[in-house]
Amino acid sequence: MSHAHDHDPTVPKGALVAAGALIATILVLTGAVSWGLLPQEGNPELSRAAANVAPAQQRDLLFADRADGAVVISDADTGETVKVIGYGEEGFTRATLRRLAKRRAQAGVSAEPPFTLTRWENGALSLRDPETGAKAEIHGFGPDHSAAFAEMLDGAKS
């Protein structure tokens, strides 16, 4: 018989204790969130306020659907067309706008009041509906999506 596998197949006690401690920590933290002892999600507005992060740039924007399916984005103050998103283009941008428009419809608010797009001092972007309080934190969805909204803030035309 070969003695090549002649070793103790047990897991070291320290590794078992560490694994047990990790599992216990996960269960305690999960329970604390479930019972409301810890916040369930981060709040970017509170984080910015705590860190004294102020708006670096803001623009009030209007969004209108065109008959051909395009979305026309214009500056609320000047009426200037900022960007036109063609039918089937920029799915994330369209979905974000659709979600905010749906909240307005549910609240009985018309499409007339502008939305506020903000670039914060830390580089984050957010789109807020002052009428309903609904907001979208754009920066959390990656650089491509942030660039699409930053383009609106910078006033680039398509």
Per-residue tens of pLDDT for the chain, all 158 residues: 555 556 667 888 888 899 899 999 989 888 887 787 777 666 777 778 777 888 989 999 999 988 998 999 999 989 899 989 899 888 888 889 889 989 988 988 888 899 999 999 988 899 999 999 889 888 777 778 888 888 888 753 43
Tell me which residue range forms the domain holding 115.
46-154
Residue 2 lies in a domain: no
Residues 22 and 65 in one domain: no
- pLDDT for 52: 83
Residues 83 and 25 in one domain: no
Quote the pLDDT of residue 44.
77
Instruction: Give the E-state strand segments of 16-120 in sequence order.
Output: 55-65, 71-75, 81-85, 115-120
Domain assignment present for 123: yes
Total structural domains in the chain?
2
Do residues 89 and 107 touch, judged by C-beta distance below 8 A?
no
Same domain, 78 and 119: yes
Instruction: Read off the tokens for 61.
Output: 């924007």
5: in domain: no
Are 77 and 89 in contact by the 8 Å Cβ rule? The answer is no
